[in-house]
Amino acid sequence: MRILVANVNTTESMTEGIAEAARAVASPGTEIVGITPAFGAESCEGNFESYLAAIAVMDAIQRYEGEYDAVIQAGYGEHGREGLQELLTVPVVDITEAAASTAMYVGRSYSVVTTLDRTVPLIEDRLLLAGMMERCASVRSSGLGVLELEADPERAVEAIVAEAERAVRDDRAEVIVLGCGGMAELKDRVVERCGVPVVDGVQAAVAVAEGLVQLGLTTSKSRTYAPPRPKRVTGFPVPRAS
């Protein structure tokens, strides 16, 4: 099976990191294809950038010409999953939700450790809309921007572990979720340091997507995710600036 893993920002090296993390857990027969949007922000850290990413991901998926069995939207707390579900029939998995549902199977409550403080509300919104907030003990920020994760992995690990420890001690989290697509590469080192299971959203999403394909499930087209009605739409796919 082929799974498209869409980065939400325009940083290709991050797409690569995400795809590698995905491949590390994918089943033998699964091909992972990383997708980088053609426009948008170099990192998503707020609503404006996230809304832009929503369209940029839909645009990139729409322009992809091969076949595929599932799509993973690899932005933590990002907008857009519902739009993709309208446009496609194959399962669409948001990593925020995949991490949450996975974490709930191995602990009674989980905390998300994310990047900047300002992305906390976006993640909370996603979890609330997905109906997966009940067992979320907290969403905590490490204070690091998305690109800083790449620039200084040592510092990132320290900051993330520190928040994870606070989540376990103060918020009673029993599982830690890494709340940023770009954290995938750091996972093993965080696992080493934390006494509780650590879930990476991208990898969780691979397992969820493979599972949905395996079960033969596709997105319900009965109401919310029915295909857009036939009508005049301009500006999509987004015209390439010449």
Q: Give the Cα separation of 81 and 225 in Å (integer).
A: 10
Question: Would you say 31 or 117 has its CB closer to its own copies?
Answer: 117
Tokens of 49: 């950038």
Q: Total residues contacting its own copies (rule CB under 8 A)? A: 90
Burial 41-78 (b: 16+ CB within 10 A, else e): bebbbebebbebbbbbbbbbbeeeeeebbbbbbbbbbb
**Interaction residues for its own copies, span 40-99 (CB under 8 A):** 40-43, 45-52, 54-56, 58, 79-80, 82-83, 85-87, 91, 93, 97
What minimum distance in Å lies between the beta carbon of 7 and its own copies?
A: 14
Q: Give the Cα separation of 212 and 190 in Å (integer).
A: 28
Binding marks (x or -) toward its own copies, 149..188, rule CB under 8 A? -------------------x---x-xx-------------
Question: Would you say 17 or 110 has its CB closer to its own copies?
Answer: 110
Question: Would you say 34 or 37 has its CB closer to its own copies?
Answer: 37
Binding marks (x or -) toward its own copies, 201..230, rule CB under 8 A? --xx--xx-xxx-xx-xxxx-xxxxx-xx-
In terms of Cα–Cα distance, which of 104, 121, 5 is closest to 61? 5
Strand order, beta sheet including 136-141? 136-141, 110-114, 175-179, 198-200
Binding marks (x or -) toward its own copies, 107..126, rule CB under 8 A? xx--------xx-xx---x-
DSSP 8-state secondary structure symbol assigned to residue 185: G
Question: Would you say 104 or 161 has its CB closer to its own copies?
Answer: 104
What minimum distance in Å lies between the beta carbon of 35 and its own copies?
A: 15
Beta bridge partners of 31: 2
From the list 65, 66, 67, 231, which residue makes contact with its own copies (rule: CB under 8 A)?
Answer: 231
Q: Is 128 in the site for its own copies (CB under 8 A)?
A: yes
Q: Give the Cα separation of 48 and 101 in Å (integer).
A: 27
